[in-house]
Structure 1
Amino acid sequence: MRLGIALRAFWKALFDRAAAERVAIALDAPIDARIEQPTPAAASEPTAKTAPSPKPAPAQNPAITLLATLQRDARLIDLIYEDLDQYQDAQVGAAARPCLKQCRQSLDRILKIDKLVASNESEAITVPADASVARYRWIGESPASDGGTAKLVHPGWQATEMQLPQWSGQAADAEIIAPAQVSAS
């Protein structure tokens, strides 16, 4: 159960800024504050009957929605799971080129992706002393303590907007990435 909660929190925080902030607050709160203990007065009060809340509409994990979009538009999963050992490199490249172009078009449509650092590779940049490990990853040895000057190896990427398609399926189908395709024989 804890693994499921951790994975749900990870994906939710990855694609939803407000959820990420709530997770950060929950993780940073003192343990005593995280556990709500019923007060003696509250425990002795009779509970009022409330009307059952309406069943929430089925939802699909944003990661599944993104994968489904990339599969539908570019057949990305088909390419990834294809046994490429049976093909020559030129054939793999010829198949990958249109897939990658379609993936980029899909990502451009549903996400605004920008470089995390606006400098070019191999340029010297200043890494703030309080830099998050999610923003800067030192390759090799990092300075003894505070940030400092470093050579940019890769600028990183960040999503600045996300407009995933709204899923409207049934709860039983929430984990389907792509339907099986069939034809009359």
Structure 2
Amino acid sequence: MRLGLALRAFWQAMFDREVAERVALALDGVDLASSSSAKSVPAAVEQAPAKPVRQAPTQSDAIALLGALQRDGRLVDLIHENLDQYGDDQVGAAARPCLKQCRQTLDRLLAIKPLVDAENGGVIPVEADASSARLRWVGEASGASQGKVVHGGWVATQVQLPAWSGGPEDAMVIAPTQVEAP
């Protein structure tokens, strides 16, 4: 397909000056959609060619959040630890501070709140057109206008993930390797 397009562009540019100018602008990265008409294209040729816009490297929000949970609570360390070698009391003792720190981190970054103001077992009204992202029936619903809360759900009321300024090669790093002098 690209070969056919290239040949077509070549032949049309060869015999039509306007097409040649538009091809040149497109190759230089000039946005042709912003031009009001094909007649205005030749005037744009006289302008300096647009410099390519360089995007700053980005890191996935998921990696940023996981990195914060690892840094503050060592969550990834706990999850990847071989827990079979420890008793339940040891696992619980290790998990408690990790979970406490992770909760503080989530509250700070996402301000997590209950989705509904009702205790488990409480009855709440259910709109017929309720969003499936906000409400999920467990078992048979049969068009009921009320439902018993099995789990209240959670909602983030903000997203304030840490800013990241690394290079593209580091975008997937969750936590750096820590070293000390021997």
Q: Decide: shared fold, TM above 0.5.
A: yes
Question: How many residues get paired?
Answer: 141
Gaps spanning 5+ residues in structure 2: where?
1-18, 31-49
Q: Provide the rounded CA distance (Å) in 2 between the counterparts of 1:112 and 1:57.
A: 27
* Of 63-72 and 104-113, the range deviating more from structure 2: 104-113
Matched, 1:46 2:45: no
Q: CA RMSD in A?
A: 1.7
Partner residue, 2:123: 124
Q: Which amino acid aligns with 1:71?
A: Q
TM-score (norm 2): 0.73
Gaps spanning 5+ residues in structure 1: where?
1-43
Partner secondary structure for residue 142 of structure 1: coil
Q: Provide the rounded CA distance (Å) in 2 between the counterparts of 1:166 and 1:147.
A: 45
Structure 1 pair 132–147 and aligned structure 2 pair: CA distance change class (3 A): farther
Which structure would you say has the larger Rg?
2
Q: Is the Cα–Cα contact under 8 Å of residues 131 and 147 in structure 1 kept in the other structure?
A: no
Matched, 1:74 2:73: yes
Which of the numbers 162, 165, 168 marks the counterpart of 1:168?
A: 165
Partner secondary structure for residue 97 of structure 1: helix
Matched, 1:178 2:175: yes
* Of 58-67 and 114-123, the range deviating more from structure 2: 114-123
Q: Is the Cα–Cα contact under 8 Å of residues 130 and 147 in structure 1 kept in the other structure?
A: no
Q: Provide the rounded CA distance (Å) in 2 between the counterparts of 1:179 and 1:46.
A: 48
Q: CA deviation at 1:147?
A: 4.7
TM-score (norm 1): 0.71
- Equivalent positions of 1:55-94 (< 5 A) are 55-94=54-93
Q: CA deviation at 1:132?
A: 1.4
Q: CA deviation at 1:170?
A: 0.8
Q: Provide the rounded CA distance (Å) in 2 between the counterparts of 1:147 and 1:68.
A: 42
Instruction: Calculate percent identity across the aligned residue pairs.
Output: 56
Structure 1 pair 155–137 and aligned structure 2 pair: CA distance change class (3 A): same
- Equivalent positions of 1:100-119 (< 5 A) are 100-119=99-118
Q: Which amino acid aligns with 2:169?
A: A
Partner residue, 1:38: none
- Equivalent positions of 1:23-42 (< 5 A) are none
Structure 1 pair 46–54 and aligned structure 2 pair: CA distance change class (3 A): closer
Q: Provide the rounded CA distance (Å) in 1 between the counterparts of 2:100 and 2:167.
A: 31
Partner residue, 2:137: 138
Q: Provide the rounded CA distance (Å) in 1 between the counterparts of 2:138 and 2:107.
A: 29
Q: Provide the rounded CA distance (Å) in 2 between the counterparts of 1:111 and 1:93.
A: 26
